[in-house]
Amino acid sequence: MAPRTPHLRTAVHRITKALLAPALALGVTVGLASAPASAAVWNSCDQWGNTTLNGYTLYNNIWGSGAGSQCVWANSGTDWGVWADHPNTGGIKSYPNSKKVINRTITSLGSLSSTYNVTVPSAGAYNTSYDIWDTDYDYEIMLWVNHNGAVGPLGTAQGNVTLGGHTWSVYKGSNGANEVFSFLRTSDSNSGTVGILPILKWIKDTKGWMGDETIGDVQFGYEITSSSGGLDFRTNNLTVSSG
C-alpha cells in the first residue's frame, strides 16, 4: 500500500505547506465552467477556499505538491461537489471536504453517526472518506467508504472488524506528527449510514490505542491523488449528528 501524507488542517499548517510547496499555486484558480448548471450558493477555485453553510464548513483544501486545478461548489453544507483536474502522478493532491465540529469527549457522547450519498467517477485515483480528528490533532481516524486507482492507507494491516454497520480492513500507523487509524470498507459503497461512535470506542476500549480524546472535527470528502482531464465528485447528501 502506498503511504499517505498527513492532512494539514490548521492555519499554521496551511501556511507551512504553502511555503514548502510553491508548485501548489500553479493552476489552482480557474474558471467556474465546471460548476453545476444551476447556480450554486457558493463556489471557489482558491487553494484554501472555504465557507460555512448550515453548520458545516466547506473547504477546497488543495494541499499536496504537484496539484492541478480544482473548484468546489455547494448548495449547502450537505449538498456539494468538486471538479478536479490533477495530473496522473503519485501523492495526494487535495482533500476537499465538508466539516462538522463536535468538540465532545468519547465518553460524553451518547451517539455519533453519519449518512452519506455520493456520485464518484470510475476513473482517477482517490478515496471517499471520513477524516476524524481529536482537538489536539494527535489522532486521525480515516473511514474509507470507497476508493479507486493506486491509493492505499498508511501503516500495517490489523485484520478485519465489523463496526458501525460496516466491515472494515483496519490499518495502524504514524506519519510522524500523529497516529493514523484507517478503516477501509471491504467493498465499495456510494451511500449508507456509519455509526462512528462504536469505531471510536473500539479504538479506545478494545484496542487501547488512544484515551478519552475530545473529538473535534468530523470531515467527509475526497482524498484525490489523480483526476487527469477533469473529474466530478458529487456529495448528494451528507449528515453528521451527535447526541
Please count the other Cβ atoms lying within 10 Å of the Cβ belonging to residue 186: 12
Distance separating the N- and C-terminal Cα atoms of the chain: 36
**pTM for this prediction:** 0.86
Residues 6+ apart with CB under 8 A from 36: 73, 81
Residue 223 within a domain? yes
| Cell 471510536 sits on residue | 200
Domain count of the fold of the chain: 1
The grid coordinates of residue 93 equal 493532491
Residue 60 within a domain? yes
Is the alpha carbon torsion for 201, 77, 149, 174 positive or negative? negative
- CATH, residue 141: 2.60.120.180
pLDDT band for position 113 (50/70/90)? very high
Q: Is 75 left (phi over 0), alpha (psi -120 to 50) or beta?
A: alpha
Residue 107 within a domain? yes
The residue segments making up the domain with residue 65 are 11-242
Q: What is the pLDDT of residues 8-56, one digit of tens each?
A: 443 333 323 333 333 333 333 343 444 454 569 999 999 999 999 999 9
Under 8 Å between Cβ of 219 and 129: no
- So what's the pLDDT on residue 36? 53
